[in-house]
Amino acid sequence: MLDALFGHLDLWGQALWGTVVLFFGGGAIALVLGVIVGGMRVSPVPIARAVGTVYVNLVRNTPLTLIFFLFAFGVPVLVEGDVDFLGLAVWALGLYTATYVAETMRAGINTVPVGQAEAARAIGLPFGQVMSLVILPQAMRAVIPPMMSVFIALLKNTTVAAGFSVLNLGSIRAYMSERGENAMDVLLWVAIIFVALVMLLTLLQSQLERRWKVAR
Amino acid sequence: MQPLVELEHVEKHYGEFHALKDINLAVEQGQVVVVIGPSGSGKSTLCRSINRLETITSGSITIDGKELPAEGKALARLRADVGMVFQSFNLFAHKTILENVTLGPIKVRGLSKREAEQEARALLDRVGVGHQADKYPAQLSGGQQQRVAIARSLAMKPKVMLFDEPTSALDPEMINEVLDVMVGLAKEGMTMIVVTHEMGFARKAADRVVFMADGEIVEEAVPEEFFTNPRTPRAKDFLSKLITH
């Protein structure tokens, strides 16, 4: 059992790196895009609200595997030359997770009393600054726990990229089987590593909650 | 001379409900107008429509000769010139008292942080909460919060200030400290539109009282005349209730 891990540290290292790249790459896209789309859904501009709603409903209602398929088979048709599957997987994860980030942000925005936005508008702040200076900083406090759940789900969703020839913790079993290791041993190690990674995120969550506690 | 704030044939519908009916109102520079009336009469809606926190169905609202713009940058610029004080204070909960007052001047007026803080401290001293500058809104009493909200509006150097029932959420002993600040502003020549039930304030500071009922302006008069000799039965009825209770 121990040998399944320590005998192949090179492969485990590469797989972990793949997962980390998928998580941080997809997470960065999801966070930026999600906050923008969440903002669009509460904006005073009807077109922005409509685009945000369509995006969330279209992408969130599509299974992640299907989005991966669309990227893996669609992009090579559209783009000439070599296709970077890791890059595609990052974008697929990011665009998919952004819908969950957007909805979580919207829930957070709704916890901020409407008077806060009215006061911000009344001193002449444009919509963007009403959001960035007054609403989002207060919404962030409310959304840390559900937002962390979204990112934990993203971390585990990185394993879906296994089906698209991207080496990560979700696909390492196939590589290890080729090297003659027992599949159950490998999968147990994968589970242990995921539990540890999620614990790191949970730790980050309690740190953030403490730092952004509502000052009273 | 053109009035600073002018409403012409303003109508507002909430679905079936007719909230404002053919409102015509002109407020000259330096005037203090008190809007009074039973709840549901549309006085708050009127006040909020002047800086377009409420949209109107038809009619026109001009401020300093300019028609109220639709949503966007132009509207934001106009709002910067129109101070607004809310019933529920609405101080930014995540910012200190000082930051509440400096946010607009820094972000909208482009003042440096140092300049903005200097002016903010002077304003906070003027409304009597200078020593609370580093606290958060929730640590202050209602009366103190409302005075900070007035300072926040003043920091933008507004042409006109709107007060939407500024003392209705306050305990009785805190009402006066807010009214004193408002009377001071009126004496200094600030143009003010004040929705309130405080007859004392109306008598002391208002040039005119506008009485609203059921979405209409029913009566308009100087305070003394309105309170002692109301012309319409609707106003008489309202005033009699204020006095007997």
Question: For tokens 């709002």, what's the residue?
Answer: B79
Question: For tokens 């589970």, what's the residue?
Answer: A191
Give the pLDDT mean for A200-209: 91
Q: What is the CATH number of the domain that holds A85?
A: 1.10.3720.10
Interchain proximity B71–A133, CB inside 8 Å: no
Read off the pLDDT band of B223 (50, 70, 90): very high
According to the model, what pLDDT value does residue B121 have?
Answer: 96
CA A4 from chain center: how many Å?
Answer: 30
Half-sphere CA count of B168, side-chain side, radius 13 A: 15
Q: How close B145 gets to chain A, by Cα (Å)?
A: 13
Q: Whole-prediction pTM value?
A: 0.84
Please enumerate residues of B whose Cβ is less than 8 A from a Cβ of A: 51, 53, 71-73, 76-84, 86, 88, 90-94, 103-104, 107-108, 136, 138-139, 149, 152-153, 156
Q: What is the ipTM of this complex?
A: 0.91
According to the model, what pLDDT value does residue A209 have?
Answer: 86
Read off the pLDDT band of A216 (50, 70, 90): very low
Residues A118 and B88: their CA atoms lie apart, in Å, by 11
Measured in degrees and rounded to the nearest 5, phi and psi for residue B191 equal: -80, 125
Name the residue among A124, A133, A215 with its Cβ closest to that of B80. A124
Contacts of A31 (CB under 8 A, 6+ apart): A101
Number of domains in chain A: 1
- Helices (DSSP H) in A61-84: which residue ranges? 64-69, 75-78
Give the domain extent around A92.
2-215
Interchain proximity B88–A115, CB inside 8 Å: yes
According to the model, what pLDDT value does residue A29 have?
Answer: 97
Q: What percent of chain B has pLDDT over 70?
A: 99
Q: Report CA-CA distances (Å) from B213 to B189, B195, B225.
A: 29, 13, 18
Q: Is the pLDDT of residue A207 over 70?
A: yes
Residues in chain B: 245
Question: For tokens 């919207």, what's the residue?
Answer: A106
B16 vs A80, more confident: B16
* Sequence-ordered strand ranges (E) for B92-197: 160-164, 191-195
Residue of A nearest to B102 (CA): A123
The 3 state secondary structure assigned to A171-208 is: CHHHHHHHCCCCHHHHHHHHHHHHHHHHHHHHHHHHHH
Answer whether A128 touches B (CB < 8 Å).
no
Read off the pLDDT band of B152 (50, 70, 90): very high
Interface residue of B52, B63, B91, B94 to substitute, partner A, most A CBs within 10 Å: B94
Residues B195 and B49: their CA atoms lie apart, in Å, by 13
Q: How close B227 gets to chain A, by Cα (Å)?
A: 32
Residues A105-141 have pLDDT tens digits of: 999 999 999 999 999 999 999 989 999 999 999 998 8
Residues A13-49 have pLDDT tens digits of: 999 999 999 999 999 999 999 999 999 998 888 999 9
- Poorest-pLDDT segment among A2-6, A14-18, B10-14: A2-6
